[in-house]
């Protein structure tokens, strides 16, 4: 598993289920989310994957997903680093609101711009570009060097923090990344070349 980076979006959260904007709020996993995380660990375990380090955000839904994955590969006590830079995009004033209620208040078009544009943040929150501005430096300073040393690194995080990473890894344009959706609990396996470019990518659908 030399120079391997595995990204996993957390399993379904309680607020995903309720159709609420989540961001930096800290709801837990649903039963389905737990099942998704366990299944991700099982799939990776069946491939005999062993990690050297795990990194996750400061939010419980990502941390629990990370732990279930580690349990699944038989590495329950592996060193795990929690880092705010990997947190979900901050939805600001939208956090905690039902998405349908937000559309009624601000209009379908405006909410769509906040949710799906690359560089227009919601009130008091972050755009995808803003999220990338904290994710990318952390990737360069703390994640990529480990991978290039030959380690197998797990990153369990969130839809938008991981979209920021995938944008760089896959060379996506601003338009392409706004159309990208990452499934909950679905592992993505990247093998990197020595020059940090991507050698291969595999998405393990549950």
The pLDDT score that the predictor gives to residue 48 is: 96
The pLDDT score that the predictor gives to residue 83 is: 98
The pLDDT score that the predictor gives to residue 1 is: 62
CA distances from 46 to 90, 99, 166, 191 (A): 35, 38, 24, 18
* Residue with the two structure tokens 């994640």: 143
Mean pLDDT by 10 residues, the chain (206 residues): 93 95 96 98 97 98 98 98 98 95 95 94 97 98 98 98 97 95 97 97 91
Identified catalytic residue from 36, 83, 88, 126: 88
Residue pair 53/78 in contact by the 8 Å Cβ criterion: yes
- Tell me the pairing of strands 4-9 and 152-157: parallel
Identified catalytic residue from 10, 36, 83, 158: 10
The pLDDT score that the predictor gives to residue 2 is: 87
In order of their start, the domains of the chain are: 4-159+172-203 (3.40.50.1240)
185: left (phi over 0), alpha (psi -120 to 50) or beta: left
Q: 164: exposed, middle or buried (C-beta count within 10 Å: 0-12, 13-18, 19+)?
A: buried
Residue 142 token pair: 């703390």
Q: 191: exposed, middle or buried (C-beta count within 10 Å: 0-12, 13-18, 19+)?
A: middle
Q: Is the dihedral of CA 169, 142, 156, 88 positive or negative?
A: negative
Residue 131 token pair: 């999220």
Contacts (Cβ under 8 Å, ≥6 apart) of 176: 167
The pLDDT score that the predictor gives to residue 205 is: 85
The pLDDT score that the predictor gives to residue 91 is: 96
- Tell me the pairing of strands 80-82 and 187-192: unpaired
Residue pair 187/44 in contact by the 8 Å Cβ criterion: yes
Residue pair 27/61 in contact by the 8 Å Cβ criterion: yes
10 is catalytic: yes
């Amino acid at each position: 598993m030399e120079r391997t980076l595995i990204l996993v979006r957390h399993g379904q959260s309680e607020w995903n289920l309720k159709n609420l904007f989540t961001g930096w709020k800290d709801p837990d996993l649903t039963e389905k989310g737990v099942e998704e995380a366990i299944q991700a660990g099982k799939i990776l375990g069946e491939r005999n994957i062993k990690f050297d380090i795990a990194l996750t955000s400061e939010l419980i839904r990502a941390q629990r997903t990370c732990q279930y994955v580690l349990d699944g590969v038989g590495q329950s006590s592996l060193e795990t680093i929690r880092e705010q830079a990997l947190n979900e995009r901050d939805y600001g004033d939208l956090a905690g609101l039902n998405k349908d209620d937000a559309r009624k208040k601000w209009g379908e078009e405006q909410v769509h711009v906040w949710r799906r544009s690359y560089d227009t943040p919601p009130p008091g929150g972050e755009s995808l570009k803003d999220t990338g501005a904290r994710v990318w430096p952390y990737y360069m300073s703390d994640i990529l060097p480990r991978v290039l040393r030959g380690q197998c690194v797990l990153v369990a995080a969130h839809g938008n923090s991981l979209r920021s990473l995938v944008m760089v890894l896959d060379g996506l344009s601003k338009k392409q990344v706004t159309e990208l959706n990452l499934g909950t609990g679905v592992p993505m396996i990247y093998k990197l070349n020595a020059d940090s470019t991507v050698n291969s990518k595999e998405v393990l659908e549950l």
